[in-house]
């Protein structure tokens, strides 16, 4: 593949960032919003040759985030978007409403170590979560476990810096509960640093792992060292750091190659110590999402032992837990919807004993806590949780609180208590403590919305319907709204989707969604192919050359909602982020007539070049790469950036991204903001609708600042103000 530049920049920013001429179209938003033509970016065509096919790219120069031209473009676009938002009359109301929905106490599922619980919690009115411990919590058999008066704040980000967007996250706790490993992300930093906190002394140790892309941190059984995996240009490497020693002396434990097979930069792995402290287990995920998972382990009771293979070289996904002297493995090996084995190292999975067989419903999550296996299955995308003995005998179920999302049961194989969370679109999260001996559950923590806000979960209802996609496949669809909400096509409706990376879209709590529902709008989520709601085969039907299926599912959901008068195109809003941003790009370019407003967050849009930027190369497992001829042909068919057609009446669009938008980890790494920049310039030059095309490029704070509660309110208010305004009744034609 070759490219050639056909022309160069003119002299001076005025040439390419001038306001469009007076003859250009005035932009009209709904609710009386008017804007001048958007800042114009000059097209500087570059031609790429893909296997004899020449593809033009007029905004390649916007890929360079550090150039003064790109910075000027971002500043001009942000000023243009701010001008729009200043006219959005409802925005101030949204900020007030969201403030009471967002600024509430929230907590994470706890980790039990010794007789204490460790977790993150943010109190109402605080900007960031702190790390807490509750001593003696595990000894409260038969007693209410939700006594927050016993919580001790260990690590408070507000005490570490005056910067409001310093955040901390709990990574691991030593087995005796005396040391806490936590990550800290500096304001605007791309990647976190790792610190160690001594619970007894109340001080952070001098040991520090510098800011980098860490994939896992785990304490050694004696707490004297930590294992950590770090991904960089060399790929992923697993090290051991002995506390109190210099980082330069850290020992490389695993990486580069294993038994003659080279590990590449797309092979992501981490090490974790089994609950009994005997083994260090390394799980190697080949690609994002993993096309293959390998598992090796080392016996830590034998200092000079080598890594042994539990499973290697099979194109399936495996997840292992060591409990009570045996290996248990969940896999989709010859079972698309998943099953659980008792595994014997050294032999093929075909000869392992099946403990929990594959059933009609896909396994979404599993764990072993207190000597029981807990399995979350998806019954048409709805969670059902069952318990089994280690021999596979059914041992009861966990009742759900209605249609919603139930997390996996979290805990150690040696713990008596496990924890799980339930939530829904209009039900804030509740964390339960489960007694694995008696099956009794008790509230550990509950997010509560103050009664004086007027928000009442009982006012809403959630239903699930089914519709047929373009090829006849039946697709589930969640629809939420106020009880008694009319269906005559006049109400606003917001639909979101994802459709990729094996991600299951379930009914989760969001203050922004709650606000939309409270105003009387419908909210809908289809279970698109590309997720894993029906197992790995469901994922495979929406990836690589079958990616169009996910888009078609989304469009069919929209057609169903319109046909059944939940809404109409002029009141229809959609939103999606990351891979969901790609979905939004496909909706904009393939079915613009269906939607009135599109929020395209952290999008992936240039499908011919995405693999060239940062960790986006990991995602060739999901999408393929234009550097391969067959995959180029597939990508070119739907690449949103290459599907924009001049003179098309596109809906109102807000492309939302942070200019510092980078995260460490796997599939949650967002695409480079260059996708949003290039698409903004192209859509603004091509659209004939006179509707606003806006770029919200972080407004200077970057993605990390979104972790701050007040900033989250502002970001959500910007998005909701746009979506609500642009789905209002359109003005009458003169």
Measured CA distances, 496 to 20, 520, 593 (Å)? 34, 17, 17
* Share of residues in the chain with pLDDT > 90 (%): 85
Computed over every residue of the chain, the mean pLDDT equals 92
Averaged over 507-526, what is the pLDDT? 97
Collect contacts of 233-242 with beta carbons under 8 A, ≥24 apart: 233/265, 234/265, 235/263, 235/264, 235/265, 235/267, 236/263, 236/265, 236/267, 236/268, 236/269, 238/269, 238/270, 238/271, 238/282, 241/207, 241/209
Listed in sequence order, the residues at least 6 apart from 722 whose beta carbon sits closer than 8 Å to its beta carbon are 84, 85, 88, 597, 599, 652, 654, 694
Listed in sequence order, the residues at least 6 apart from 321 whose beta carbon sits closer than 8 Å to its beta carbon are 327, 328, 329, 367, 368, 413
Grade residue 614 by pLDDT with cuts at 50, 70 and 90.
confident
Decide if 566 contacts 493 (C-beta within 8 A): yes
Task: Answer with the residue of higher pLDDT: 716 or 149.
Answer: 716
Question: Tokens in use for 623?
Answer: 């999408």
Averaged over 416-426, what is the pLDDT? 97
Residue written as token pair 């004993």:
353
Averaged over 498-527, what is the pLDDT? 97
Q: Give the model's pLDDT for residue 704.
A: 40
Grade residue 707 by pLDDT with cuts at 50, 70 and 90.
low
Q: Give the model's pLDDT for residue 703.
A: 39
Nearest to 706 by CA among 669, 651, 660: 660
Q: Give the model's pLDDT for residue 660.
A: 55
Averaged over 250-266, what is the pLDDT? 92
pLDDT at 21 over 90: no
Helix (H) or strand (E) holding 183: strand 179-185
Grade residue 147 by pLDDT with cuts at 50, 70 and 90.
confident
Residue written as token pair 């039946």:
474
Q: Give the model's pLDDT for residue 46.
A: 95
pTM: predicted TM-score of the whole model, two decimal places: 0.94
Averaged over 3-23, what is the pLDDT? 36
Q: Give the model's pLDDT for residue 163.
A: 79
Q: Give the model's pLDDT for residue 734.
A: 52
Measured CA distances, 623 to 15, 23, 314, 608 (Å)? 37, 41, 21, 10
Averaged over 81-105, what is the pLDDT? 96
The Cα angle at residue 467 between residues 541 and 338, in degrees rounded to 5: 40
pLDDT at 255 over 90: yes
- In the chain, where the domains are located: 2-100+461-725, 105-211
Q: Give the model's pLDDT for residue 67.
A: 96
Averaged over 134-158, what is the pLDDT? 80
Residue 716 Cα to chain centre, angstroms = 16
What are phi and psi for residue 725, nearest 5 degrees?
-65, -45
Q: Give the model's pLDDT for residue 142.
A: 55
Averaged over 565-577, what is the pLDDT? 98
d(CA 303, CA 404): 47
Averaged over 149-172, what is the pLDDT? 91
Grade residue 332 by pLDDT with cuts at 50, 70 and 90.
very high
d(CA 698, CA 677): 12
Listed in sequence order, the residues at least 6 apart from 133 whose beta carbon sits closer than 8 Å to its beta carbon are 116, 117, 118, 151, 152, 154, 177, 180, 199
Q: Give the model's pLDDT for residue 607.
A: 98
Q: Give the model's pLDDT for residue 149.
A: 84
Q: What is the CATH number of domain 2-100+461-725?
A: 3.40.50.1820
Q: Give the model's pLDDT for residue 1.
A: 41
pLDDT at 598 over 80: yes
Q: Give the model's pLDDT for residue 478.
A: 98
Averaged over 236-244, what is the pLDDT? 97
Using CB atoms within 10 Å of the CB of residue 669, give its burial: 0 to 12 exposed, 13 to 18 middle, 19+ buried: buried
Nearest to 264 by CA among 236, 293, 229, 291: 236
What are phi and psi for residue 481, nearest 5 degrees?
-175, 175
* Share of residues in the chain with pLDDT > 70 (%): 92
What are phi and psi for residue 514, nearest 5 degrees?
-60, -40
Helix (H) or strand (E) holding 389: strand 382-389
Instruction: Give the tens place of pLDDT for each residue, 468-487.
Output: 999 999 999 999 999 999 99
pLDDT at 189 over 70: no
Q: Give the model's pLDDT for residue 143.
A: 60
Q: State the helix-helix crossing angle for 629-638 and 548-563, rounded to 10 degrees.
A: 20
The DSSP code sequence of 639-669 is -GGGT--TT----EEEEEE-TT---SSSTTS
pLDDT at 12 over 80: no
Instruction: Give the tens place of pLDDT for each residue, 666-696.
Output: 345 788 999 999 999 999 999 999 999 999 9
Q: Which segment of 179-188, 361-370, 596-605 scores lowest on mean pLDDT? A: 179-188
Measured CA distances, 343 to 302, 334, 353 (Å)? 22, 15, 7
Q: Give the model's pLDDT for residue 10.
A: 35
């Amino acid at each position: 593949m070759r490219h050639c530049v056909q022309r160069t920049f003119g002299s001076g920013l005025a040439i390419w960032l001038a306001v469009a001429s007076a003859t250009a179209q005035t932009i009209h938003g709904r609710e009386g919003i008017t804007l001048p033509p958007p800042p114009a970016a000059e097209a500087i065509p570059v031609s790429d040759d893909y296997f004899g096919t020449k593809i033009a790219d007029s905004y390649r120069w916007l890929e360079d985030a550090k150039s003064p031209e790109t910075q000027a473009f971002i500043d001009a676009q942000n000023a243009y978007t701010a001008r729009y938002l200043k006219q959005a009359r409802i925005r101030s109301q949204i900020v007030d409403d969201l403030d009471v929905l967002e600024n509430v106490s929230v907590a994470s599922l706890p980790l039990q170590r010794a007789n204490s619980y460790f977790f993150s919690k943010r109190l109402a009115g605080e900007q960031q979560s702190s790390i807490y411990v509750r001593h003696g919590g595990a000894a409260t058999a038969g007693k209410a476990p939700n006594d927050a008066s016993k919580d001790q704040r260990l690590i408070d980000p507000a005490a570490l810096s005056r910067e409001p967007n310093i955040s901390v996250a709990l990574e691991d706790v030593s087995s005796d509960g005396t040391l806490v490993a936590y990550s800290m992300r500096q304001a605007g930093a791309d990647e976190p640093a790792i610190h160690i906190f001594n619970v007894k002394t109340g001080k952070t140790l001098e040991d520090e792992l510098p800011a980098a892309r860490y994939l896992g941190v785990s304490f050694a059984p004696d707490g004297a060292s930590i294992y950590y995996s770090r991904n960089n240009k060399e790929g992923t490497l697993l090290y051991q750091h002995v506390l109190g020693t210099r980082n330069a002396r850290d020992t490389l434990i695993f990486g580069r190659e294993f038994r003659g097979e080279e590990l590449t930069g797309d092979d992501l792995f981490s090490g974790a110590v089994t609950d009994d402290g005997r083994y260090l287990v390394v799980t190697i995920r080949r690609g994002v999402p993993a096309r293959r998972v390998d598992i090796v382990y080392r016996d830590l009771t034998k200092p000079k032992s080598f890594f042994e293979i539990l499973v290697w070289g099979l194109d399936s996904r495996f997840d292992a837990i060591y409990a009570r002297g045996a290996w248990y493995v969940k896999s989709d090996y010859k079972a698309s919807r998943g099953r659980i084995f008792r595994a014997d190292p050294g032999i093929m999975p075909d000869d392992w004993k099946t403990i929990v067989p594959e059933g009609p419903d896909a396994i979404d999550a599993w764990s072993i806590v207190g000597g029981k296996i807990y399995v979350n299955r998806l019954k048409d995308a709805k969670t059902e949780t069952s318990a089994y003995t280690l021999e596979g005998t059914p041992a009861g179920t966990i009742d759900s609180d209605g249609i919603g999302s139930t997390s996996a049961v979290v805990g150690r194989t040696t713990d008596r208590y496990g924890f799980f969370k339930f939530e829904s679109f209009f039900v804030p999260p509740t964390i339960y403590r489960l007694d694995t001996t008696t099956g009794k559950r008790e509230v550990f923590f509950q997010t509560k919305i103050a009664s004086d806000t007027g928000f009442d979960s009982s006012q809403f209802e959630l239903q699930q319907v089914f519709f047929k996609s373009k090829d006849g496949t039946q697709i589930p669809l969640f629809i939420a709204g106020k009880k008694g909400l009319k269906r005559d096509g006049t109400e606003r409706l917001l639909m979101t989707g994802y459709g990729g990376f094996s991600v299951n879209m379930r009914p989760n709590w969001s203050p922004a969604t709650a606000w939309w529902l409270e105003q009387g709008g419908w909210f809908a989520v289809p279970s698109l192919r590309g997720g894993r709601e029906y197992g790995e085969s469901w994922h495979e039907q929406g990836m690589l050359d079958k990616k169009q299926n996910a888009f078609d599912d989304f469009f069919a959901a929209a057609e169903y909602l319109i046909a059944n008068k939940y809404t109409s195109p002029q009141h229809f809003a959609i939103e999606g982020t990351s891979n969901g941003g790609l979905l939004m790009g496909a909706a904009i370019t393939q079915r613009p007539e269906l939607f009135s407003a599109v929020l395209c967050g952290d999008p992936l849009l240039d499908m011919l070049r995405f693999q060239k930027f940062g960790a986006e190369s990991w995602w060739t497992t999901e999408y393929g790469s234009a550097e391969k001829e067959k995959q180029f042909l597939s990508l070119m068919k739907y690449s949103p950036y290459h599907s924009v057609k001049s003179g098309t009446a596109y809906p109102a669009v807000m492309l939302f991204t942070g200019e510092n938008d980078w995260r460490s980890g796997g599939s949650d790494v967002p695409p480079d903001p260059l996708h949003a920049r290039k698409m903004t310039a192209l859509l603004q030059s091509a659209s004939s609708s006179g509707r606003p095309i806006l770029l919200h490029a972080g407004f200077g704070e970057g993605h990390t600042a979104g972790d701050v509660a007040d900033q989250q309110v502002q970001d959500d208010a910007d998005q909701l103000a746009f979506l609500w305004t642009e789905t209002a009744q359109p003005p009458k034609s003169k």
